[in-house]
């Protein structure tokens, strides 16, 4: 084929080693007559990346990057997001969304290192990921070129991709149809997602065999597990008194949470590109992170500051979901969120049982705003004068009384 853009001599491809990106690698070489460098991010999905490296080289990659980004992912992306108690449309913990800005960042870094003029990805034209990858790339390198094959080529089905690979003598691992997962899946340390297959019917219950990380609540242990989370500056630094790195924290919480059936979500979400889509997610560790963080904030965070964070959270969640991690408004919101966490220090005790995360204790020896001497139902020794409440109520009722006297009926 004739190259579509002769100014592109090298492209960095976000490469998983699956059918789509394997076909894309060859298609880029053929269509753009250029070198292709592949980049694979290890974000904790548990895969063995040795075969991925070999497959990329066998398929003609001029250079292969496989980077272990697990610690950076949790420390610089997941933890900052959870400082905001971030959740999209009331349920989704943004497991896929938060990984994309890191991948975009590394794609641009590799493009700079290798002298590539363009990057490429395997996201389809129907999804959010194309937006997330490309907004991130343009924010970090405005003159970068982006090649999105799913918006250009005429390969529109699995069979057409297989035929393309066969024509170009590209080895593809064709699993037996009965062994092939019917779902489109994405996994990292924060979650695993499932889309497609029977899930395209929003009224169809997922098969139990679909879930890979968690027991069902019915099959979870009959005895609870108690865990103790230590927080410093809003981040977990230790579990049950054992200090852990950010990635180790999330790995541990995924394991114990999954055992107890925690973190399953089945939602119909609103994609940024305009359509509704049904997805199922497993986020055992993230579910525990959210519950624990809100618990430690409940005793350490000022009331109005906490309410302000809650007001801003849906906007912050939408920025991440829609791909604006590298935007000035997200960075400004993050500065506010991070400043709010200065006194979010202490310990939270949780009980994990049959799909539930139950707060059973929270304590901050140095930064708690909870004063038992004030709130007690017993004798408070003058710490709080109950007569003060009368004037407080009268002042707050004043506007209501004035409106009522003007016959502005509320019912």
Query: Shortest CA distance to 285 belongs to which of 187, 176, 411?
Result: 187
| Catalytic annotation, pick one of 129, 278, 283, 340 | 129
- 184 a catalytic residue: yes
Secondary structure (DSSP) of 255-290: HHHHHTT--EEEEEEE-TTS-EEEEEEE-HHHHHHH
Note the helical H segments in 301-408.
Answer: 303-322, 328-340, 372-375, 388-405
Q: Tally Cβ neighbours within 10 Å of residue 391.
A: 9
Query: Shortest CA distance to 12 belongs to which of 125, 140, 128, 127?
Result: 140
Residues 6+ apart with CB under 8 A from 405: none
- 100 a catalytic residue: yes
| Catalytic annotation, pick one of 100, 106, 132, 362 | 100
Residue 371 region, left (φ>0) first, then alpha (ψ -120 to 50), else beta? beta
Residues 6+ apart with CB under 8 A from 71: 245, 246, 247
For residue 213, CA distances in Å to 69, 140, 257, 335, 355 come to 21, 34, 9, 34, 13
- 20 a catalytic residue: yes
| Catalytic annotation, pick one of 16, 20, 83, 340 | 20
- 151 a catalytic residue: no
For residue 10, CA distances in Å to 33, 37, 56, 136 come to 9, 7, 15, 20
| Catalytic annotation, pick one of 33, 53, 184, 338 | 184
Give catalytic residue positions. 20, 100, 129, 184
């Amino acid at each position: 084929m004739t190259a579509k853009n002769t100014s592109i001599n090298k492209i960095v491809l976000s490469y998983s080693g699956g059918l789509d990106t394997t076909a894309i690698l060859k298609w880029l070489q053929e269509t753009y007559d250029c070198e292709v460098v592949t980049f694979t991010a290890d974000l904790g999905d548990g895969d063995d990346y040795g075969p991925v490296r070999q497959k990329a080289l066998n398929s003609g990659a001029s250079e292969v990057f496989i980077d272990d980004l697990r610690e950076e992912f949790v420390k610089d992306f997941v933890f900052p997001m959870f400082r905001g108690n971030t959740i999209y449309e009331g349920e989704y913990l943004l497991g896929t969304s938060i990984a994309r800005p890191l991948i975009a960042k590394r794609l641009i870094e590799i493009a700079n290192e290798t002298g590539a003029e363009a990057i490429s990805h395997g996201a389809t034209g129907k999804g959010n990921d194309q937006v997330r990858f490309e907004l991130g790339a343009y924010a970090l390198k405005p003159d970068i070129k982006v090649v999105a094959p799913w918006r250009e080529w005429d390969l529109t089905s699995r069979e057409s991709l297989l035929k393309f690979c066969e024509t170009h003598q590209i080895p593809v691992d064709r699993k037996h149809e009965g062994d092939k997962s019917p779902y489109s899946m994405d996994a990292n340390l924060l979650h695993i997602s499932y889309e497609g297959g029977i899930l395209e019917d929003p009224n169809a219950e997922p098969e139990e065999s679909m879930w890979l990380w968690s027991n069902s609540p019915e099959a979870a242990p009959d005895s609870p597990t108690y865990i103790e989370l230590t927080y410093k500056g809003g981040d977990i630094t230790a579990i049950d008194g054992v200090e852990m790195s950010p990635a180790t924290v999330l790995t541990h919480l995924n394991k114990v949470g999954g055992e107890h059936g925690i973190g399953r979500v089945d939602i119909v979400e609103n994609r940024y590109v305009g359509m509704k889509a049904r997805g199922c997610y497993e986020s055992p560790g993230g579910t525990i992170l959210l519950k624990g963080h809100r618990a430690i904030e409940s005793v350490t965070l000022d009331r109005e500051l906490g309410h302000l964070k809650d007001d801003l959270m849906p906007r912050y969640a939408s920025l991440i979901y829609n791909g604006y991690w590298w935007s000035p408004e997200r960075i400004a919101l993050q500065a506010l969120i991070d400043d709010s966490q200065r006194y979010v220090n202490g310990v939270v005790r949780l009980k994990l049982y049959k799909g539930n995360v139950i707060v059973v204790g929270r304590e901050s020896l140095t930064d708690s705003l909870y004063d038992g001497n004030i709130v007690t139902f017993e004798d408070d020794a003058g710490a709080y004068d109950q007569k003060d409440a009368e004037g407080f109520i009268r002042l707050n009722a004043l506007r209501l009384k004035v409106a009522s006297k003007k016959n502005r009926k509320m019912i």
